[in-house]
Amino acid sequence: MILLVPSLIIALMYFMFQNAPIRPGEVSPFNNACLILLGLLPLVVMFLITSIAMQRERASGTLERILTTPLRRLDLLGAYGTAFSIAAAAQATVACILAFWLLGFTTAGSAIWVFVIAIINAVLGVGLGLLASAFARTEFQAVQFMPVIVIPQLLLCGIIIPREMMPDWLQWISNVLPASYALEALRQVGAYPDLTATALRDIAIVVGFAVVALCLAAMTLRRRTP
Amino acid sequence: MLTSSSDELLAGGAGPAVDIDHLRVIRGKRPALHDFSVQIARGTITGLLGPSGCGKTTLMRCMVGTQIVASGSVTVLGQPAGSTPLRHRVGYVTQDPTIYDDLRVIDNVRYFGALYGAPSSASDEAVDAVGLHELRTANGGNLSGGQRTRASLACALVCHPDLLVLDEPTVGLDPVLRTDLWAQFTALAQAGTTLIVSSHVMDEADHCGDLLLMREGNLLAHTTPAKLREDTGCQSLEEAFLSVIRRSTVPAAS
């Protein structure tokens, strides 16, 4: 499921937009949608998977048991990050092959950067998921963090409405959400053949957010609990 | 306070395996352990006995280093409990079997073995030691209660710890399996491992060299099965324990 579902969703979008008119000189709506999906779907999927996996570890007691072993907390986080990043890489590979080769998705910039941004978003999703799992006592609660943490980011990052057109206070909020920068980086790669300074800066910012999320998650892994 | 057997056992001079000094633990605004002090000698099997809710699990978590303590100290094998060098040497089996349901038994044991740096041959030995050889490829979720307990035990045995802390390992097991496990515990103790086993079945106390009787977070007695029978004049250890409780509550009543 984890490998195929994003590709299936992208294929679904392709068929949705098949009959949509393309204005001359403008990019097809499918192209826009596919770029966003390729880049941001890993964030959503990895957040869900990680928050539930970690919440299960906490609830079943295996986390407490692991913390009595010589394993260091950073090793545990690194392991989670690596494992899910590899899954995200596999997922993104399948999705990119489908999009670029079969569905006619094009970007002005290199496809590699789309792939890289997708992986970085996956790591961000892992960090946020690990952090969110600390505040959920049951899987039921863990799942409900999705509408709290992920959906506002998707709404405010500029997918539906450009950020400049939103009221000031919403723009301020979107400035501190990592998805805004991830989307901007994706759009830069889609529009320009070379990697722009803006895209590089945005990628660095998202990496920074991911690192901060992982560090905060490390603080929630306490060996001693009441 | 009944006679303590620890003095003779500590004569070896290696230092106690566990040294607890004036330990106080508060859980959920209520004290779980009151001014608890005890020394447990190396190479022994110590039984932690007492009714449910008396603080056995809390005490074990203090020894393993996962419990926040209000005051007092817990020293295990000469180091503060939960410190990094100790984590290779202390094995912990929780009350509820904490294994992964999605993994096979052998994969569970290999996983925990990898966390301790044990070779994969140690995993096979541990699975055989608990008698799960035929079920090594069964999924954790498909095991019966007793099999899960044994799998959880194998995950702790894989690292050959110096101190093994077992929280009610025989609960829900049939008498044959129980005897089998206690035979293994005895063998481990003879090889030098210190075992701390908790139970609320008093009859299992006969297998232990040392007994810690607890009630409501207090240490009622630190004794041996023989001395307990002598001091209370009861043959059955269950009656002996009840007699100890009655003795400790009578002064408060009068």
Domains of chain B: 1-89+165-224 (3.40.50.300), 99-160 (no CATH)
pLDDT classification of B13: cutoffs 50, 70, 90: low
Q: What is the pLDDT of residue B250?
A: 65
ipTM of this complex: 0.81
Cβ atoms B101, A65 nearer than 8 A:
no
**Predicted confidence (pLDDT) per residue in A108-165, tens digit:** 888 888 889 999 999 899 999 988 888 888 888 888 888 888 888 888 888 888 888 8
Q: Does residue B102 come out as left (phi exceeding 0), alpha (psi in the -120 to 50 range) or beta?
A: alpha
In angstroms, what separates the C-alpha of B83 from chain A's closest C-alpha? 10
- For residues A201 and A121, what is the distance between their CA atoms, to the nearest angstrom? 15
Q: Which two tokens stand for residue A49?
A: 């998977």
pLDDT exceeds cutoff 50 at B1? no
Residues of B with Cβ-Cβ distance to A66 under 8 angstroms: 115
- Residue A212: which pLDDT band, with cuts at 50, 70 and 90? very high
- Helix (H) / strand (E) element for B92: namely strand B90-93
Q: How many CB atoms lie within 10 A of CB B41?
A: 22
Question: What contacts B194, CB < 8 A, 6 or more positions away?
Answer: B17, B18, B40, B41, B42, B43, B44, B46, B162, B163, B164
The C-alpha atoms of residue A220 and residue A222 are separated, in whole angstroms, by 6
Average pLDDT, stretch B132-148? Answer: 89
Closest CA to B24 of B196, B220, B217: B217
Q: Is B39 helix (H, G, I), strand (E, B) or coil?
A: strand
Over chain B, what is the mean pLDDT?
86
What distance in Å separates the CA atoms of residue A70 and residue B230, rounded to the nearest whole number?
43
- Burial label, A181 (beta-carbon count in 10 A; 0-12, 13-18, 19+): buried
Residues of A in contact with B96 (CB under 8 A): 61
Taking a C-beta distance cutoff of 8 angstroms, is the pair A166, A156 a contact? yes
| Contact (CB, 8 A) for B15 and B244 | no
Beta partners for residue B47, in sequence order? B197, B211
Which has the minimum average pLDDT: A17-21, A70-74, B208-212? A17-21
To the nearest 10°, report the CA torsion of B220, B224, B225, B229: -70
A24: closest CA of chain B, how far (Å): 53
Q: How many CB pairs under 8 A join A and B?
A: 51
Distance from C-alpha of A142 to C-alpha of A47, rounded to nearest angstrom: 10
Stated length of chain A: 226
Q: Identify the band that residue B52 occupies on the pLDDT scale cut at 50, 70 and 90.
A: confident
What's the average model confidence in pLDDT over B118-140? 89
- Write out pLDDT tens, residues A73-96: 888 888 888 898 898 889 889 988
| Number of helices (H), then strands (E), in chain B | 8, 10
- Cβ–Cβ under 8 Å, residues A186 and A35: yes
For chain A, the three-class secondary structure string (H helix, E strand, C coil) is CCCCHHHHHHHHHHHHCCCCCCCCCCCCHHHHHHHHHHHHHHHHHHHHHHHHHHHHHHHHCHHHHHCCCCCCHHHHHHHHHHHHHHHHHHHHHHHHHHHHHHCCCCCCCCHHHHHHHHHHHHHHHHHHHHHHHCCCCCHHHHHHHHHHHHHHHHHHCCCCCCHHHCCHHHHHHHHCCHHHHHHHHHHHHHHCCCCCHHHHHHHHHHHHHHHHHHHHHHHHCCCCEC
| DSSP β-bridge partners for residue B164 | B91, B195
**What pLDDT is attached to residue B3?**
43
A67: nearest CA partner in chain B: B66
Q: Which residues contact B205 (CB under 8 A, 6 or more apart)?
A: B47, B49, B199, B211, B225, B228, B237
Q: Say if residues B100 and B124 touch (Cβ distance below 8 Å).
A: no
Which pLDDT band, with edges at 50, 70 and 90, does B254 fall under?
very low
CB contact under 8 A, A224 and B112: no
What are the residues facing B23 on neighbouring strands?
B36
Residues 6+ apart with CB under 8 A from A32: A190
Which residues of chain B are at the A interface, by a Cβ-Cβ cutoff of 8 Å?
27-28, 64-68, 82, 84, 87-88, 90, 92, 94, 96, 98-100, 112, 115-117, 155, 159
Measured between beta carbons, the chain A residues lying within 8 angstroms of B88 are 70
Please tell me the distance from the alpha carbon of residue A208 to that of residue A84, in angstroms, as a whole number: 18
CB B168, CB B95: distance < 8 Å: yes
